[in-house]
Structure 1
């Protein structure tokens, strides 16, 4: 059964970055003098239903904007449909949004395989595919796919960072890799291998994949230990990542561990794994850890916690995914502001490709959102961090373009 969530957001005029956007009213599908409609598909059910909190948080964010007056004098309707993280269902939901609901843009659809399923369709129809919740490298391809732009830092770049750190700190590394058997996991794996370079074939002693429908990853973790790995690179989505960390502890395997940022939630992954099991794991961060008391007096964190209390009280403020979703919604709102009264699909993409130093409240200091017509990667900066059993402790320099 399709779950459909819709909200209306009143809006008040806000300043634009260019005066030309105000010159005359130009509307695309789903836009009138009083309304603009966008849509997304989210796994509210199925094996990755935990990701449903992203859609709920984004609906809450726009509901907040409604109460505050909103964006540029218009109501905004976000239509959020359940695709169960099934690519065929994503196609069905997206076609419905474009052809029946006539949305101006597709926003925030979750997943690499799901976004891949609608990638060519949306570009052929010239419908913006904005802030896709995926870090696939292929989304930054404005020459061949000018209508697609992702939100997350690329998995490929993240994999390279882990490889660089392993090379510098573990000369005797024997790497075991767990990865999700789809574009999501393979992009991370390819980045890791590229970062390792010619030595990849020698230092990666075992690779183990899993399907999103698998109830456990126990056998995969046992196989990685049996291969003699002393470094465990955990390229898994949250549920599988937590199971793998727990299993490694249960079988007495104590390798150096790296965990992908998409699964680095303290409350949803590390604490369920057990403090002792997760202690010492490394990841990269680009958002403030919402469970970390070091940010207690930070203005952005204060805003976020107040937002959660008022607009999404049923959500977990310490869930990394909620912070990712709210930050994404902040950027989508900025794109709409910059578009002014030229709410055509073409101008929406122009504005999305001209973001300058946008700073959602939860981004780490020194990290900003910047795009250009030739570089669609919204975030290219990350910092290594180590879990001490209670929180992530950042170390080293911010890496990548700021």
Structure 2
């Protein structure tokens, strides 16, 4: 081959390579996982393991809503293919599952990955690969780091905000009472404590107990709380451990008031399921009456709420075995929000256009308070609503409350709630 021919061949190869790299994310054009008729997304979920009770239904609920949207034409002519895999709330498995989704399944984005100890093990990897990491089901403040994690966006109200709101409630309604903390020994519990400590006077906190996920024997922690004579126990963890906490209270004859974060299993139906074997003398429902908790969106038994009516319709059409719980509402809310972002990202869908759509913010839905999404904030919800359990419902005590994850005040949020569109599918704003 002549020298001239060699040069031509090299140039031709470069052109071919360039054409093959037209989805280079450095140019904002990466459309991995996208075809003219579909967009494929993936997730890690605790379908089994310690977080499965209460959270195992989140992904099936989201899929049901995507099926509903797909049956009505999808988004910009694309159907949403949702591949979620079981990580059993085990960070080691999370790493394996997410790598498989990204490197083998070639997903466009990771959607709604669930768990603080699990997702923290993959967030660096996803951002290094420039994979959109959207609507993480965890209230860790660590997702709100646009400069460090430009591709990651939270979903839940972060635990600092939630801790502040619950702390403000405790400070107002239990003045001078002795308070104990029962928290998971990771970012979930640590962020919850940060929020609580911003509102509850330090002198009122008589015991701070933590538990390790995987060890269900929490007798020492509850015994320490009992010995400290706490009047109020506030928990930040996962539902299985909240149920263990309530069982230990019964065993010790402890009557302290329970205050549960949403993540800790404050949803009544889940708690009832977990407490079925607690005592032969009392019904599980009777054991949860008066527990104080919070919610970021309406519960499934609020049957007059238009969002609950929509999600119940979706459930009845596409996931008839799905329990009517907060997990169902959370999964469908996340899916609804993702569809809004897809609409805003437009028909020429790329990973960068999806990130830009998320940063535009302004998404509406069933949540009581807005999301914080913008170019400078990748945090999820900005507040929650406190109430006490009555029957298998939450009797709200006051309006939704909102705050920041710093030192700002906890204030009421009184804007009118959004209503779903007639066909249940959002459109571009």
Shorter-chain TM-score: which interval? 0.7 to 0.9
With over 3 angstroms needed to count, the CA separation of the structure-2 counterparts of 1:296 and 1:53, relative to structure 1, is: closer
Cα deviation, 1:85-125, whole Å, max 9, x if unaligned, reads 11121111111211222211111111011111011111112
Correspondence list, 1:136-215, <5 A: 136-196=140-200, 199-200=201-202, 202-215=203-216
1:23-51: CA deviation from partner (whole Å, max 9, x where unpaired): xx965111122221111111222222332
1:287 to partner: Cα distance: 1.0
Whether the 8 Å contact between 1:42 and 1:85 is mirrored in structure 2 is yes
Partner residue of 2:23? none
Aligned: 1:341 with 2:347: yes
The aligned residue for residue 312 of structure 2 is 305
Partner Cα distance (1:271, 1:392) in 2:
16
1:123 to 124, 127, 150: 127
Q: CA deviation at 1:327?
A: 0.5
Does the CA contact (< 8 Å) of 1:264 and 1:270 recur in 2? no
Cα distance in 2 between the residues matched to 1:299 and 1:67: 21
In the aligned structure 1, how far is the partner of 2:100 from the partner of 2:273? 39
Q: Secondary structure at the match of 1:168?
A: helix
**Matches of 1:182 and 1:253, distance apart in 2:** 26
- Contact 2:50 2:240 survives alignment (8 Å): no
Alignment partners' CA distance in 1, 2:399 and 2:65: 32
Which secondary structure state, in structure 2, belongs to the residue aligned with residue 377 of structure 1? coil
For residues 89 and 274 of structure 2, the distance between their equivalents in structure 1, rounded to whole angstroms, comes to 23
1:217 aligns with 2:218: yes
Q: Aligned residue for 2:279?
A: none
Query: 1:38–1:104: 8 Å Cα contact kept in structure 2?
Result: yes
Aligned-partner Cα distance in 2 for 1:222–1:270: 23
Please give the alpha-carbon distance, in whole angstroms, between the structure 2 residues aligned to 1:270 and 1:36.
38
Partner of 2:67: 63
Q: Are 1:45 and 2:52 matched, yes or no?
A: no
Distance verdict in 2 for CA 1:357–1:335, change over 3 Å: closer
Task: Give, in whole Å, the separation in 1 of the partners of 2:309 and 2:331.
Answer: 17
Match of 2:297 among 273, 287, 302: 287
Q: Give the CA deviation at 1:398.
A: 2.0
- In 2, distance between residues paired with 1:398 and 1:224? 30
Distance of aligned partners of 1:343 and 1:257 in 2 relative to their CA distance in 1, 3 Å threshold: same
Larger radius of gyration: 2
Aligned partner of 1:398 among 371, 391, 400:
400
* Contact 2:269–2:392, Cα closer than 8 Å, also in 1: no
Tell me the residue number matched to 1:354: 360
- Segments of 4+ in structure 1 off by > 6 A? none
Task: Indicate how the Cα distance of structure 1 residues 81 and 205 shifts in structure 2: closer, same or farther if over 3 A, else same.
Answer: same
Summarize the Cα distance change of 1:381–1:215 in structure 2 as closer, same or farther, 3 Å threshold. closer
Contact between 1:280 and 1:389, CA under 8 Å: does it hold in 2?
no
CA deviations on 1:249-303 (whole Å, 9 max, x unpaired) are 3422122221111212111114654334322221222211212xxx333322222
Distance 1:300 1:258 in 2: 26
Task: Tell whether the 8 Å contact from 2:165 to 2:402 is kept in structure 1 after alignment.
Answer: no
- RMSD of aligned residue pairs (Cα, Å): 1.9
Q: Secondary structure at the match of 1:342?
A: coil
Q: In 1, distance between residues paired with 2:273 and 2:48?
A: 24
Cα displacement (A) at 1:225: 0.9
Q: Pick closer, same or farther for the CA change 1:272–1:100 going to 2, 3 Å.
A: closer
- Whether the 8 Å CA contact 2:135–2:334 is kept in 1: the answer is yes
Alignment counterpart, residue 138 of structure 2, candidates 128, 134, 138: 134
CA pair 393-229 structure 1, distance change in 2 beyond 3 A: same
SS state at 1:46 partner: coil
| Distance in 1, Cα, partners of 2:195 & 2:304 | 36
Measured at CA, do residues 33 and 389 of structure 1 come closer, stay the same or move farther in structure 2, by a change above 3 Å?
closer
Corresponding residue number in structure 1 for 2:384: 382
Partner secondary structure for residue 190 of structure 1? helix
Per the alignment, residue 287 of structure 2 pairs with 277
Q: Taking structure 1 as the reference length, what is the TM-score of the superposition?
A: 0.86
* Residue ranges of structure 2 left out of the alignment (5+ in a row): 1-27, 276-283, 404-412, 414-429
Question: How far is 1:194 from its partner?
Answer: 2.8
Structure 1 residue 245: Cα displacement:
1.8
Q: In structure 1, how many angstroms separate the alpha carbons of the residues matched to 2:171 and 2:189? A: 21
Whether the 8 Å CA contact 1:354–1:371 is kept in 2: the answer is yes
